[in-house]
Structure 1
Amino acid sequence: MKSVFQWLVWSALTFFAGGAASVSSAAERRPNVLIIVADDLGYGELGSQGFTAEIPTPHLDSIALNGVRFSSGYVSGPYCSPTRAGLLTGRYQQRFGHELNPSTAQRTPPNVGLPVSETTLGDRFKAAGYKTGWIGKSHLGYAPQFRPLKRGFDEFFGFLGGMHDFLDADADPANPILRGTERITSIDYLTDALGREASAFIDKHKASPWLCYLAFNAVHAPLQATEKYLDRFAHIADPKRRAYAALQSAMDDAVGVVLAKLREHGLERDTLVVFFSDNGGPTPSTTSGNGPLRGFKSQTWEGGIRVPFMMQWPGTIPAGKVDDRPVIQLDVLPTALAAAGIKAKPEWKLDGVNLLPFLTGKNSAAPHDVLYWRFGPQLALRMGDWKILKAPGAGVSADNPRGGQASTVGVHLYNLRQDLGEKVDLAATHPEKLRELVAAWEQINREMIDPLWRDGAAERGTANKAGKKASPE
């Protein structure tokens, strides 16, 4: 009888100890990180942005509803590849020469890509024991040393170039769709496929902490969609706008599939979700609109660098917030590191900041004193409500907007709170403010190096062997 009693006591203690361990394990689970990047999505396009409801985007809008929308969310480049280089490093891409775009696979020299001297988001998370996956577009170099599997990512499904056909996997043999290193020879619709692949990655690693970087090529050209999505917009007469709407709707559906997978596995409260666009919309070519902002993709006007930008982390980031403090995609890396409990080190020299204290009410200040841009001859700097700028139509030739070197001679000055559309140049009437911003830009610019390649370097077969310190001008 005594032995039976002892067995029951032992069993009970074992049961409760196991239960406590299980609860403790769940409580100590590190959060997942899901980073979703749209391609060429303009500031004015999502319903949650408040400018138009022409193209319903309920799944993307739900991220803003369940978290925070940054109305002054920026990217560090007005073009695809530089922004992605900044995202993956948390550093201004001009620090390491990735200021301009590579070109096509046939024309890009083998030394053009995100420098291997830079440590990526994937590297940081993989070293911390996370499962890391990259789904979608790379555009950070074609040579083996630049590919996702060499940059800290365990798994890759996507393509290496700057764009891809949505319907034909073999449209460009030099830029195939890859699973790891294996070519994929057929797809149904690429946006749908990327959503499925991200969902499958979550399925596979649901029991472990993971980082998933989901980089859509929607809504970048070519404007291709299946009848399923085109039929939703039969009422739009303009065929270009209708095709664009279908592309955006397909991306929203794919995001919905991934968010549903989080809910299916009970991971919504355990996952930091970030969404932004890599640059502003190229309105003339695709109709992707930038709302009230001036300018387009490839320009340092607000329309080229201010983008839809939102985060959710239920239970940590309060829901339904709109935050007007300027933030930038460089902040994603340090924010994700902080969420995962990975301590950033000073020697990493990050330019981004951890946004969590600002979003949870622990810090009411602005995350950044200034934000900096340089893109060939174009430049910008935002300080509070003020911005200096050189761009096409403001001191830069529209015929050569990416050639040459930036200079602060002849910069324009705008007050964004009073003039969001950047219509009234205040340089002549506010000379002291102009000098203050110019001095700030030149101080930061002295820390940067020249581009490692010229824009379209690949098209001219040129790539610098090494960057050098940029001229103060």
Structure 2
Amino acid sequence: MNKFLVCFIYISFSAVFGQTNSKNQPNVLFILADDLGINALNCYGNPLVESPNIDRLFAEGMHFTNGYSNDPTCAPSRASIMSGQYVSRHHVYRVADRFKQDQKTLEAMTYLPPENYRLNGSGAGLNLNKITIAEALKDNGYETAAYGKWHLGHNELQIQNQGFDEGYEITGHFNFKTSPKQKNIDSTLYSSDVITSKTIDFIERANGKKQPFFAYVPYYLVHKPLEPKKKYLGHFKNKLKGNPNVGPDEIKVLAMIKSLDDSVGKLLHTLEKLNLDEDTIVIFASDNGHYQTESNIFTKPYRGVKGETYEGGIRVPYIFKWPKHIKPNSASTAPIIHVDLYPTILGLTSTKHPKDYILDGEDLSPILLGKRIEPKREALIWEYTNYAGYNPKTKSFRSQWVNVIQMDGYKLTEVVEDNSYYMYNLKKDPYETQDVYGEYLHIAEKLKHRLEEWKKETGYEHPKPNPNFKQ
């Protein structure tokens, strides 16, 4: 068949059926929870949680049991999701430079961590030279929207300057704030209800135009402040009355998870109502691990919480649903991380890789579609540069600069401040109870070598002496 005939057939097909084809361009609904721990859903094993809609999504798709965030805090992990790059490339290192406002911490630091990317007048956030997942999908004909927690800069760095056709930031629960500030909006409503309503309106309009859509839905739930709806707070107070293993804050969180689940249910119902269910990829994840609560029931049995690189601070739920493509009620033990989302969405939507742009993650579509079991890569790596909370009595930081590598079932942490290391065998000790660094030095050396390679590959900024340091 000659090239002219092939071209004629393609043009004729497009003229008859239109430029968009749901089989080649499925819609994408990406729901991102805020601070939702690995054990904060009923489907992931917490019987105290009521999450029937997310549980249904879990049953209808594939979930990952070894899913990770790129950072144990919000902004860096969100930058990795949007850019598809590690922290050392996108330079959103921390939510805030707390050490600069704490003289004791600043004077105790041997090194200064690298600076966050900042744009004058727009604050710290994601550099506009990064090609976001939304921009890549727009080049493939997608309508794009994002309502909810952005956390990657404001003004010039706002949502609509990063590849989204519409959207704005919504932070808080009751009496929420918007950026850019919106007029004619009732901020006394619960923010998740507003985010859901705006997203449903976008989906309905995109469907009316027969355009494939990418709806990014970053809820503020279940981030603090702990502000649940009264009806759900009363429900859980009554249900768990007298239970000594659940604290008052945890009851509030359970009520907030219930609201998150309600919102997810409304989005899923909209897809079904519009007959878009089979043509839409639904992704559910969280930005990082859960914050500390009375009994840490949302991270246990794992060690650690938000702000720490122990498993409880970086393990998060991942669920993918795409009817007739992803096997229902399936599970994967493959270790995955936020930067995998970008190339995976490209792979599932037949979207071209942005030219001359580095993506650090791996396309998981072969795993989701049942063609592979394990990723090709050999290691997951973290760089966490958050110095905070120095205690002069114990001569220790609440958090400090660490680099972490997980490889061959082992997890090695490099403590930059004193050039020390500790390591866990996650296959035998997933809850990180026993440091085996001294027992397996040959394995530790292998992981150190790969970590040093990663630093060279990603443009890692090495520690610089702190001029404020006082011995």
Structure 2-normalised TM-score?
Answer: 0.81
Q: How does 1:233-252 map to 2 (within 5 A)?
A: 233=236, 234-237=238-241, 238-252=247-261
- Residues of 2 paired with 1:179 and 1:202: CA distance? 22
The question of 1:315 aligning with 2:324 is answered yes
Shift of 1:135: 1.3
Superposition deviation, residue 284 in structure 1: 3.2
Contact 2:332-2:373 within 8 A present in 1 as well: no
The correspondence of residues 265-344 of structure 1 with structure 2, limited to 5 A, is 265-284=274-293, 289-344=298-353
Question: How many Å apart are 1:449 and its aligned residue?
Answer: 4.6
**Is 2:171 the counterpart of 1:123?**
no
* 1:72 to 2:66 alignment: yes
Say how many residue pairs are matched. Answer: 410
Task: Indicate how the Cα distance of structure 1 residues 145 and 102 shifts in structure 2: closer, same or farther if over 3 A, else same.
Answer: farther
Give the whole-Å Cα distance in 2 for the aligned partners of 1:240 and 1:301.
Answer: 22
Aligned with 1:45 (options 32, 40, 46): 40
1:263 matched to 2:272? The reply is yes
Provide the rounded CA distance (Å) in 2 between the counterparts of 1:287 and 1:231. 21
Provide the residue aligned with 1:165 in structure 2. Answer: 172
Contact 1:29 1:209 in 2 (8 A): no
Tell whether the 8 Å contact from 2:340 to 2:361 is kept in structure 1 after alignment. yes
* Matching residue's letter, 1:184: I
Instruction: Measure how far apart 1:286 and its partner are.
Output: 9.7
8 A Cα contact 2:158 2:168, kept in partner: no
Residue identity matched to 2:163: G
Per-residue CA deviation, residues 312-352 of structure 1 (Å, 9 max, x unaligned), is 11111111111001011111111111222112157211111
Residue 361 (structure 1) shift: 2.4
1:447 aligns with 2:460: no
Q: What SS does structure 2 have at the residue aligned with 1:374?
A: strand
Instruction: Give 5+ residue unaligned stretches, structure 2.
Output: 1-11, 102-117, 242-246, 386-400, 466-471
Aligned equivalent of 1:113: 125
Match of residue 231, structure 1, among 220, 230, 234: 234
Per-residue Cα deviation, 1:381-410 (whole angstroms, up to 9, x for no partner):
1113111125xxxx5xxxxxxxxxx36832
Report the Cα distance in structure 2 between the residues aligned to 1:34 and 1:286, rounded to whole angstroms: 33
> What residue is the counterpart of 1:378 in the other structure?
402
SS of the equivalent of 1:318 reads coil
| CA distance in structure 2 between the partners assigned to 1:23 and 1:124 by the alignment | 21
> Aligned match of 2:429 in 393, 408, 419?
419
Cα distance change of structure 1 residues 21 and 448 upon mapping to structure 2, 3 Å threshold: closer
DSSP 3-state at the match of 2:420: coil
Aligned residue identity for 2:77? T
Deviations 1:14-43 (A, max 9, x none): xxx99x945997565610111111111111
Query: Which residue of structure 2 aligns with residue 133 of structure 1?
Result: 145
- Contact 1:300-1:379 within 8 A present in 2 as well: no
Q: Secondary structure at the match of 2:251?
A: helix
Deviates more, 1:31-40 or 1:198-207: 198-207
Residue of structure 2 in register with 1:434 after alignment: 444
Matched-pair identity in % = 29
Task: Give the equivalent residue in structure 1 for 2:396.
Answer: none
Matched, 1:60 2:69: no
1: CA distance, partners of 2:363 / 2:41: 26
Counterpart of 2:161, as a letter, is K
Residue of 210, 213, 217 corresponding to 1:210: 213
Q: Distance in 2 between matches of 1:117 and 1:285?
A: 42
- Contact between 1:327 and 1:368, CA under 8 Å: does it hold in 2? no
Q: Which amino acid letter does the alignment assign opposite residue 216 of structure 2?
A: Y
Question: Would the aligned equivalents of 1:240 and 1:287 in 2 still touch at CA under 8 Å?
Answer: no
Q: Is the 8 A contact 2:24 2:350 kept in 1?
A: no
Residue in structure 1 matched with residue 89 of structure 2 by the alignment: 95
Looking at structure 2, the residues matched to 264 and 223 of structure 1 have their Cα atoms a distance apart, in angstroms, of 33
- Equivalent residue letter for 1:166: H
Task: Assess, with a 3 A threshold, how the Cα gap between structure 1 residues 419 and 291 changes in structure 2: closer, same or farther.
Answer: same
Instruction: Report which stretch shifted further, 250-259 or 232-241.
Output: 232-241
CA distance in 2, matches of 1:412, 1:256: 43
Q: 1:103 to 1:431 in 2, by over 3 A?
A: closer
Q: In structure 2, what is the equivalent of residue 402 of structure 1? A: none
Q: Return the offset for 1:291.
A: 2.2
TM-score by length of 1: 0.81
CA-CA distance at 1:179 after TM superposition: 7.3
Distance 1:373 1:311 in 2: 24
Measure, in 1, the Cα distance between the counterparts of 2:142 and 2:153.
24
